[in-house]
Chains A and B, each alone.
Chain A
Amino acid sequence: MEEILEIYKTTTIEDVNVWFEAATVSDFPKNGGACIKYKGKQIAVFNFERKNTWYACQNVCPHKMEMVLSRGMIGDQNGIPKVACPMHKKTFSLENGENLNGDLAPIATYPVKIEDNIVYVGFSE
């Protein structure tokens, strides 16, 4: 099971050498998320329309290793943007991946950019 996690590594904007064209803005719900597939990776992408900001992270929840985070509810905790896993409501910061209500390992996060209504997710390869 651990090997599932190994393919997801937090990528900062400086590390990016591939901007993957994922989908159009309208493919994602406003103030919600959806999942994209890139080379065997499942990545959850969230549209915080209220703040005009986008976030991306691994789709797998490190608690029970299910591919579900993109179906989680988003919001904030003291201003930190977060996603709550639909399974057991484990919450993670979308800024640094930290588990906000427990001791789980942090999730990997990825940069997102929008150009001409296209959503790009950044990877380092």
Chain B
Amino acid sequence: MKKVVVIGNGMVGYKFCEKFAASEKFGEYKLTVFGEEPRRAYDRVHLSEFYAGKTAEDLSMSSVSWYEENNIDLHTSEMITEINREDKTVANHRGDTYSYDYLVLATGSSAFVPPIPGVEKEGVFVYRTIEDLEAIESYAKKLKAEGKTQAAVLGGGLLGLEAANAVKELGLDAHVVEFAPRLMPRQLDQGGSDMLQAKIESLGLSVHLSKQTDFIQGGHAIEGLQYVDNTELKVDMLVISAGIRPRDEVAKECGLEAGLRGGIIVDHKMKTSDDYIYAIGEVALYNNMIYGLVAPGYDMAEIAMSQITGNSDNTMVEHIDMSTQLKLIGTEVASFGDALSDGDDTDAIVYENKRNGIYKRINVSKDGTKLLGGILIGDSSDYNALFQIYNTAMKLPENPEDLILGNRGGDSGSLLGDVMDLPDDAQICSCESISKGTICGVIQEGTCDNLGDVITCTKAGTGCGGCKPMVKDLVDATLKSLGKEVKDTICEHFEYNRQELFDIVKLKGYRKFDEVIDHHGKGDGCETCKPLIASIMASIYADTANEEAPIQDSNDRFLANIQRNGTYSVVPRIPGGEITPEKLIVLGQVGKKYDLYTKITGGQRVDFFGARLDQLPKIWKDLIDHGFESGHAYGKSLRTVKSCVGSTWCRYGMDESVSFAIELEERYKGLRSPHKLKGGVSGCIRECAEARCKDFGVIAVEGGWNLYVCGNGGANPKHAELLAEQIDNETVIKYLDRFLMFYIRTAAPLQRTAKWLDTLEGGIEYLKEVVINDKLGLAEGLEEEMSKLVNTFQCEWTQAIQDKEIMKRFNHFVNTDEPDDNLVFVPLRNQKMPEHWK
């Protein structure tokens, strides 16, 4: 068995082990790893999350047992101080020696500390390891106790801004001090830097540019920074994050060739000047450059592993891409390709929107055919598409500005046009390095014929998941090109889409899942088709979720939302958010009696957390005895109709928004739909109820109500669109009945109204035709169906606690009355929460 010794257990060193352990030849090698830090490799990229509550264990790249399971010897807190190339051995600080067949240097880098007089003073730190962060944290505590809060971060690059965010998280006033005239000088131009500066200043950080520090003021401890221009900044702490220095001491000492400014020289095989020694990550000097990003470091790990295991064809690409997309202090920042190009052969196109804090720049070749690079600040949603266009040298549209301004002709198609136009080697999933050719290939050669299989087979989309929409488009387009039908069937058990199943169930009058699957499907059903058919039957027959419990989605089956530790939350209905002091006291008493974590929701009601399954009926009995009923917070059904206080109290109110919100909530409560539904009613255009980000929103105006539909918050916020203007209460209800029923009948499973409207051919104009002008002649039927549902409402919790059979569902065990003994709660701000996930 060949011995491989790895010096360094950072992110890249760990990745090397991970890739090695996954290789076919792993059995022929024995890995020994030395790390000088006391901990196993951890995620340094997200170091500032340490202050946001993450523990060192959360940041760890692997479990304790991973190395053991893979038979890798890990020596932490052990520093290698000597390499003997002749004997092929290494020695640690205690003098123990270990022999190797191959040696891998993954020693990384340390923080670069500029030679400024006074850096040795108390209160000056670097930002690199968890130990650094712990030292910064305890010093910050000490300062705050003395009433001191000013802290500077030296360095306005990527790492410096991360450090500034960390300092801010500690509750200090953070000052970013940068030598260059702009932030992130290697990635951003002046305009991009200005926008980023404005954004982070609005969050309370200060930025000081073009400042060169002459010396650090103070006696024993730091008191301020003295700049060379004779100005100063009084601070109580300084965190230096001004760049990195490769950790090349031990390698240099044994005579490996190094660069003038540090770093061990490697070739395209990641091999150093010694045939048996490789260097990867931030200690490796490749093409005369040190690469301070993880992605190239991971690629280097892969190359070194391939070379050692005999796959000598796998070598590093000539040009390493340094494009990045990240979130810095809450601001989206992306930079790709030649972002700063100002040459004669380039035209820059810039879009700047100070109102929204957005800056976009693309550099286009003079002849307008190629995208050379660009910068995105404040909105980097187009990064993936732009990066593809740049990276694959795709031909640009006639007006390249469309790439950042959108096609202003009204057709809002994808930036890329047709995904099939991408070249085969275009990288689609950058986490797993999967190309378009690989994805289309597995379909063309018949290995896969649907999205799920493609993902399992290629691993595309299993990392961050950002590329999934593009993978889906590619799969659909490839299937189509092969003449295979792409049908939106709901799952393997039914060859129908939701709308077709809705019509089948309604026409045949089915009341049981078994009837539907026996006549129209195959197999035993699954977690997709069962709740879907339950929802359809509820929408048609006004069933509660107590009908055929085992086919209800888990939350509906137990009439509560399952939470992180398997306990549940309880939300009684508070229509329109209006509640008497007496009822509010009841809620307080219930929360106290059952020791529940209590929080106000975004929908103007009260949420209780931490209820065990067996406690649910007791809690609900208490609530129902005091006049509450189910809030359906667990269902794909109406949640709340949020209201502002309206003309009842508000001096600006145009109408009684609370009264109308209560009326609407009472009308549609319990209504089962393809996805959850939320409503809002505002008493004037100031819109305090935020009605336009709801599935339906009503706003009082001169002469009546404006009715908006198909908005939502969530991952893709969308404002609701105007359906009708200046209409009275009855007309609002008439249109809403028709709109909601039309949505319930025709939407896809788990499709919110906004997405549904997107897929509706003709969009809002078509919807107006159907709802207002009754173009399809459906209006009467839709209203009738809705009135049936409205008139047969039952509170399913009242139903549940009165029925012994239903109550059996809420025992944790069927053979004993004991509760689940596996639950662990920890204290949190005078309440409790579940123990953290490991």
Contacts and interface: CB of A to CB of B under 8 A. Distances in A.
A59 B595 CA distance: 26
Contacts of A45: 814
A78 B492 contact: yes
Interface stretch (B120-128, B244-252, B525-533): B525-533
Nearest to A22: B815
A40 B597 CA distance: 28
A99 B820 CA distance: 24
B556 to A, nearest CB: 11
Contacts of B820: 42, 67
Contacts of A71: 554, 557-558, 562, 566, 613
Nearest to A47: B550
A9 interface: no
Contacts of B529: 75
A35 interface: yes
Contact of A73 (B492, B526, B816, B822): B526
A28 interface: yes
Contact of A34 (B65, B814, B837, B838): B814
A65 B524 contact: no
Contacts of A84: 526-527
B818 interface: yes
A32 B534 CA distance: 15
Interface string A88-125: 01010000000001000000000000000000000000
* Interface range, B side: 35 or more
Most buried by B among A42, A71, A75, A89: A75
Most buried by A among B525, B564, B818: B525
Interface string A42-73: 10010010110000000010001111100111
Nearest to A67: B822
Given A32-B549, A32-B550, A75-B530, A37 B524 contact: no
A15 to B, nearest CB: 22
Contacts of B142: none
B524 A50 contact: yes
A86 B524 CA distance: 18
Interface string B400-411: 000000000000
Contacts of B818: 37
Interface stretch (B285-293, B671-679, B761-769, B805-813): B805-813
Contacts of B549: 29, 32
* Interface range, A side: 35 or more
Contact of A1 (B564, B814, B838): B838
A35 B558 CA distance: 14
A45 to B, nearest CB: 8
A34 B551 CA distance: 14
A7 to B, nearest CB: 12
A23 B814 contact: yes
Nearest to B456: A101
Nearest to A34: B814
A48 to B, nearest CB: 7
B461 to A, nearest CB: 13
B523 interface: yes
Contacts of A4: 822
Contact of B554 (A35, A67, A86, A101): A86
B553 interface: yes
A1 B813 CA distance: 22
Contact of B527 (A28, A50, A91): A91
Given A22-B815, A29-B809, A82 B526 contact: yes
A11 interface: no
25 contacts: A22-B814, A31-B524, A34-B811, A34-B814, A60-B822, A64-B837, A65-B837, A65-B838, A66-B565, A66-B566, A67-B566, A67-B820, A68-B566, A71-B566, A73-B551, A73-B554, A74-B550, A75-B524, A75-B525, A75-B529, A76-B525, A76-B526, A81-B524, A82-B526, A101-B452
